[in-house]
Chain A
Amino acid sequence: MSALEVLRWSLLAEAVVLFVALALVLGHVAWHVAADGRRSRRLDGAREAFAEALADGAAAPAVAGALRGLPVRDTVAVLAAYAPVLGGSGRGVLSRAAADAGVTARAERDTRSRRWTRRLRGAQVLSTVGGGADAMPRLLDDPRAEVRAQAAGWAAREPGEAVSRRLVAHLDDPELVSRFSVQDALLRSGRTALPALRDALDHAEGPSAARLLEVCAPSGDSMFGPAALRLLHDPHPPTRALAADLAGRTAGADAMDEIAGLLDDPDPGVRASAASALGRAQHWPAGPRLRVLLRDAEWDVRRAAALALEGFGPAGGLLLRRALEDENPDARDMARLVLGRPAGV
């Protein structure tokens, strides 16, 4: 085959590909131009009817009637538009309307699909409109992390003792996305999840305990105090650091000495966390030790110690001003920064 023939055939092949690509794009544009207007009118009408039915306090079948005749995709779109702004009885009506319109059953079928994208889609729909109490817990053990994460999202909306215990068991999920969703779901579950968290924390250690502590800390519930004190001696440094933070929030004044013991921990993260915890608890007897910590080799530890001292008020301020004359330049510098003085003063 001559060079010119190669080029001619190449050109012909290109022309075919280009024609097909252009036809697809133009066809899609034309189809959308024709269909979008109709769909948008249909959706607007359904949204309006749906909102009116909800506002009138209509029963679920009547609300579902507003969605009658809509394709499933559009029905989900209408329900998804209202779901985030509805709570209480309104949310219940929306869930029952979704069931009456067949959306829930279809989504439950999707959760049993062999294709993970379809299972994910089903899980997303059920998380949005509610329902799926039988289908969704199973997805917490799905082989795909994205699906497990979505199932955890659903669990946050349907909190319960049993679901919380399953979520806690998934805090050690190997995939980050799933762990994030589980942590998030447990936090959103509020007090419902606390007993399950306490039971798990009582026996946890190492990295598993660290993940539990991250979820337990924001609640600051005193039920976590004993476990936090135990974990102050955990061999895993991040666990000790998180335990210091939680113990500072939840344990009594007698725990402060144990936390202060961590100011000499070999790990800088633990020292910084202990300093912050003591500062937050206003445990001023630790002042002199925090003053020594201003000489620490790690910047984060010096900063935590300085801010803790500042939090003690006038007594801490006095220690910080004394540190301005410290023989250690790092301690002087940190004290100067926290006292807000310009360099050289």
Chain B
Amino acid sequence: MPPVPPLALLPDHPLLALGPLAASAGEIGRRILVDSQWVILGYFLALNGFLLVLLTMAAVELRRQRAAEVLASRWRVLGSDVAPRVSILAPAYNEAATVVESVRSLLTLRYPDLEIVLVNDGSKDDTMGVLRRAFSLEPQHPIHRHAVEHQPIVGVERSSIAPNLVVVDKENGGKADALNAALNVASGELVCAIDADTLIEPEALLRMVQPFLMRSDIVAAGGTIRAVNGSSVDHGRVVTPRTPRGFLAGVQSVEYLRAYLTGRLGWNRMGGNLIISGAFGLFRRSSVLAAQGYEHATVGEDMELVARLRRRAYEDGGPGRVEFVPDPVAWTEVPESLKVLGRQRDRWHRGLADVLWRYRGVALRPRYGSLGFVAYPYFVLVELLGPVVEAIGLIGLVIGLATDTVNWPFAALFLLVAYGLGLIMTVLTIALEEWTYRGYGRGRETLVLLGWALIEPLGYRQLTVVWRLKGLWKYARGNTEWGVMTRKGFATEEEPPGPAGP
């Protein structure tokens, strides 16, 4: 059978029987449908071509980073008197049940000069009382510079058994507000913003601080976030990492891997990152204070801060490089219910839209260099509008098939090519992971990851398109709610902001 031409009506097409006018209207509609499919295929090819470049850059960057970290160079930082002081900023709201274990876990992090600033953000439960009893808190000088705005501080207390633990008791104001209060009180040259339920690997800070020791123009560094679901956790430590076995957590583990190992690492060599996860990021405190801290009026406060730091660097000529380090790992529990996951993705997309709208002025302006010409357009065209293009493509294909304007072989091949491109990207990312960190372990765990990679584009990806479209719609209507979230393992009430879409 000869191949069916996709760009002409078939001889027995019903429109031809309705006369020349109907046939010409039908021809225009058909042309739009077919052409839109080509545009979308072109978009997919361009997108995946770019992602392939990103993957290549990630591989090159990974090789460089691995070469520099072999053996024990980070141990020199551990015993060093000239290592910069790091303050961990940990906001907590109604965390009475888990806060003690979380703080104990933070206190055991390996770093020579570490301060932990925990902010009780007006909890309604006994978070403060639990902390006072567990760590023998004593009031200290409330002497701190009010450099960035936040809700009033009720008191500042220091532990008498762990002197590097400072607890700030303040009136409720949300996560960004709590982080701003912590920024004012912290004394570290570098500050590490985390979520109270993030599990940080003991050596993560030693690795994360390396970019700040390598270059003087670094303002922020981010590490990898992995899904902890399915791994065994003991006393705030991931003892045996495992690839999640549940469907939703499993496909998210693949998503996170692709987003961090390929996406963010590749950006190191392509003009720098625009996102540092709010669950685990290290910042130069002076730069954050100079930028007036975290923005309250956004649901994407982590990305907003990074975008502001980078824009300021271009405008004022100061340091502004944002680096991603793949090795320091923090673990977080990813949602395992469609409802909660949907809310999370919806919010991430609203945050992304908000930040890109706020910083629209940097687009395609020579003054902003790679931020304006590479990163910003990528985030608009791929991260923000990706779901719109994908939805148009899928709907157009369905309509085309229903009206016989697109033939089945074309549709099937089109879908297979699109599926295959995504799958190649994921498998190559898993290959990078297999050759380097094997964060989820070896052998069987890699096979499980591959399994999730095969399944992820079938159904799950389309669901994320729906959630992200919902986020766009809500943003257009001015919805700025954070949304109540639930978790299985760490008993918090709010889900932490992670990456603005892996």
Contact = CB atoms under 8 A, between A and B. Distances in A.
Counting chain B CB atoms within 10 Å of each CB, the highest count among A24, A183, A184 belongs to: A184
Nearest to B417: A10
19 contacts: A2-B5, A4-B6, A7-B417, A21-B428, A22-B427, A22-B450, A26-B447, A28-B435, A29-B446, A29-B447, A117-B67, A120-B70, A149-B73, A150-B73, A180-B82, A184-B81, A299-B145, A300-B145, A337-B143
A3 interface: yes
A14 B424 contact: yes
A72 interface: no
A73 to B, nearest CB: 11
Contacts of A180: 82, 213
Contact of A11 (B420, B435, B443): B420
Nearest to A24: B431
B424 A18 contact: yes
Interface string B411-442: 00110110011011001101100110000001
Nearest to B48: A14
B413 A11 contact: yes
A146 B428 CA distance: 29
Given A4-B410, A33-B443, A117-B67, 15 more contacts: A2-B6, A3-B38, A11-B420, A18-B427, A22-B450, A24-B431, A28-B435, A32-B443, A83-B72, A124-B70, A125-B71, A128-B71, A128-B72, A176-B215, A214-B82
Contact of A184 (B6, B82, B409): B82
Contact of B442 (A14, A32, A214): A32
A307 B79 CA distance: 29
Interface in A53-77: 76
Contacts of B144: 337
A178 B450 CA distance: 41
A22 B431 CA distance: 8
A146 B4 contact: no
Nearest to B6: A3
Contacts of B213: 176-177, 180
B80 A4 contact: no
Contacts of A150: 73
B82 A153 contact: no
Contact of B82 (A29, A120, A125, A187): A187
Nearest to B421: A14
B214 interface: yes
Interface of B: 3-7, 38, 67-68, 70-73, 75-76, 79-83, 139, 141-145, 213-216, 409-410, 413-414, 416-417, 420-421, 423-424, 427-428, 430-431, 434-435, 442-443, 446-447, 450
A253 interface: no
B420 A80 contact: no
A17 interface: yes
Contact of A2 (B3, B38, B75): B3
Contacts of A17: 424
Contacts of A120: 67-68, 70
A75 to B, nearest CB: 13
Contacts of A24: 431
Contact of B420 (A18, A29, A177, A300): A18
B216 A153 contact: no
A300 B187 CA distance: 12
A303 B143 contact: yes
B416 A184 contact: no
A125 B70 CA distance: 9
A303 B141 CA distance: 12
A120 B420 CA distance: 40
A29 B447 CA distance: 8
B73 A153 contact: yes
Nearest to A128: B71
A242 to B, nearest CB: 13
B141 A176 contact: no
B82 A183 contact: yes
Contacts of A7: 410, 413-414, 417
Contacts of B442: 29, 32-33, 36
B145 A4 contact: no
Contact of A340 (B3, B141, B216, B434): B141
A18 B38 CA distance: 24
B141 A338 contact: yes
Interface in A111-154: 117, 120-121, 124-125, 127-128, 145-146, 149-150, 153
B71 A80 contact: yes
A88 interface: no
A218 interface: yes
Contacts of B413: 4, 7-8, 11
Contacts of A124: 70-73
A297 interface: no
B202 to A, nearest CB: 15
A327 interface: no
Nearest to B210: A177
Nearest to B214: A177
Contacts of B427: 18, 21-22, 25
B68 A184 contact: no
Which 3 pairs across A and B sit closest by C-beta, in order of nearness?
A14-B420, A7-B413, A117-B67
A145 to B, nearest CB: 8
A153 B82 CA distance: 13
A150 B70 CA distance: 11
A176 B213 CA distance: 6
B286 to A, nearest CB: 12
A337 B140 CA distance: 10
A15 interface: yes
B431 A181 contact: no
Interface in A203-245: 214, 218
Interface in A1-50: 2-5, 7-8, 10-11, 14-15, 17-18, 21-22, 24-26, 28-29, 32-33, 36
Contacts of B79: 188
Nearest to A214: B82
A11 B416 contact: yes
Contacts of B80: 184, 187-188
A84 interface: yes
